[in-house]
Structure 1
Amino acid sequence: MKKLLDLVDVSVLQEIQNKFADATCVAVLICDETGVPITKASNFTSFCTYVRSSVEGLRRCILSDENVGKLAAGQQRPVLHRCHAGLVDFAAPIILRGRYIGAILCGQILMTDEELSSIVDMQMDITELSLDTEELENYFKQLSFKKKKQIEAIAELLFVTANHIVKICDAYLTKKELSKKSEKLIKELQRRSRLEKDLKETELKFLQSQINPHFLFNTLNTISRIAYMENAQETQQVTYLLAKILRYSLKNNEQYVTLEEEIEHVRNYLLIQQTRFRHKINFQLEVEQDLHLKQIPIFCIQPIIENSIVHGFEPSGEPIHISLHAYQEGNKMMITIFDDGIGIREENLSLPSKKLVQTTGIGLENVNKRLKHGYGPAWGITKIRRRERKGTEVHIEIPIS
């Protein structure tokens, strides 16, 4: 099995880490399965930097990181502990196809004594590190306190981020595997039918797993700005919504979800966008009650809503109204999405419209392709039109069975 650095470029890991550190204002480091750092530390405290300047201190820090990473891998969830120097750290495991390949480490903070009772403690005597005691104490006084509830919220987002890294690694392996399969197709024509089916299924899973880091990082930047300007209540809401969006994107491997679940995902996405752009994005929803539990392919509505924002709203910044109407007509589920944005360009009115690719990486043509793959060539996006006055209208037809 390949190591973490063999599966993802270190610059990608560094960018994810830096953005996370900027948004949460805690120290972050990504290490391999042995505790050895892969990335350059982000937001490291002066205390920990000074401890690691000692050969023995660095050895203990790496050992501490290795132990908490393996502990998190064993429990398959984020784990809080006190490191050898007495600071609160937490780790989220990076587990790829059942194998632990590294961890995201976070923390270098303090907690009140009453909140430390349930935390794994591996403190050692740091007086043995041959460091200047007065300087060490001065750095210790600079450390910040955080409440356990805040730490647990950051740890949850850290776990979602670790799963995102797993998806990147898995996509790399999938691509390699597809390459090998394609070579075999040339030599073994008799296996073509079975391999073509495998490739189609893998392509759908690959499309479902794509989350472009730009949306993630823009949102984290928004969180960071809100945290700076406010008292973190709104930050907690945005962080919670982002975690739900990422969890929906990263953990839903099945091909179909209920209409209600997809609409909840749309709402979470729009709430974040409304936080970024305040009162400039308005959303109206009208869904017939009998349709809420009907099954549809995952990510067949949210990318179209996102298209309205990316192409209809962001270029001008003018307020936009987006409406979603889902109703039954005979044996069909009809879904209409329209906005009053700047309107779709004439050259993109006919499918395939591969130019319309959103920040999630799923364009209108991919949505249409997945709908037709699931239901047949007669279904999917049946109309895209520029509205007479202003905006764009998209129609989807799905059979009700």
Structure 2
Amino acid sequence: MIEFNRSFHLTEVIEIEFLQEIQDRFSEATGQAAIVVDYQGKTLTRHSNYTRFCNELRKDPEMCRICEKSDAHGGIEAVRLQHPYIYRCHMGLVEVIVPIMVNGQYLGGIMTGQVLVEEEALEKLEQIIKPKINIEDNKELSEMYSLVKRVSLQKVQASAMLLFTIANYIAEKGAVNIVKQQLNEKSLKLMEEMKVRADLENLLKETELKLLHSQINPHFIFNTLNTISHQALLEGATKTQEIICVFAELLRSTLRNMGKIFTLREELNYIRNYLFIKEKHLRDRLTIIMDIDEACLNNEIPVFTLQPLVENALIHGIEPKEEGGTLTIKAKQENSFIRLSVIDTGVGMPKDTVDELIRLKSQYYKHIKPKGVGLSNVISRLQHHYGSKFKWNIKSAPDKGTEITLFLPKRQTKVVD
């Protein structure tokens, strides 16, 4: 059995159009007037089969006020009884309030009736408010009153119970469907969170494995690079020897800092070495601009936060462009965050790739890894590291370039004199 731990509005559990359909069909079948109101007494549907007498009476503001007062009292009684309440209005017509309930909560009601019953039965019904006028003094009203439909009290009771049973069954089913939908959404969210956790655990295992592989005999790698560097120097290839030395420093930094926390200063030093190599390759096709607020340099960030973005900007943005382009790296303080931007004037990204990356902001799509874009891995690591405090943006247009901005919480490293 489903337990309800929330409140509902009548329009949540039953569509207004469906309520109108039930009301109209009921009114046609019984000849009784009907209208649906919410828990505040506000009408939700159009009147069905209202009598000429009631319509005419309500044109008078004072009479309309008394009618509404009578209706309100009937509604209170129906809520108290949690059952259809049959009574006489101030003009003596029989009316019924059919409450619509879900788990004891009053959502609204169906007001029906505007009929007359046999005289002996009429006397048994409570008249909430006494009449303020004598209709016999008003010939037109008196004639309209004489046209009011007459039915047996038993029929009024039976039709009220039928309406009560149908309306409350539909409302209960609607509420159950809402709760089931919410439970399904929670289950889906839980499954997504479990998937994200599993992906992160797999990523951690893969990273650890890569770390182990990278540490296999690093002395052999550096000895080999040293040999190549000396050979280049002997052959007079000083530029080649310089590139090899910078590459060795890059590799040494990579092996030494896998999985650690960098300062922004260290990350930028690493990037400068990387860009030194790329400048040799791209020659005059690459312009580099570094706009760095020195107040940000001691801020701690996960290792390789910017490097993959810089690499993407060069390989996928600037290199494919015949005339090359400009790479700009910015770092600014903004309140409790540092704002890091990597901007290129390269070929830009297709709209579908940008849309797929933007979907990473959603809890339900954080496990998605767009193919060929290192940004997704950076975003996943930063989301895992900073949680909801991490924010990011991407702007890209074909032939215009790409701008990626990261907002990281400020975490300063203590500087030792």
Task: Tell me which interval the TM-score lies in, with the shorter structure as reference length.
Answer: 0.3 to 0.5
**Max Rg structure:** 2
Normalised by the size of structure 1, how large is the TM-score?
0.43
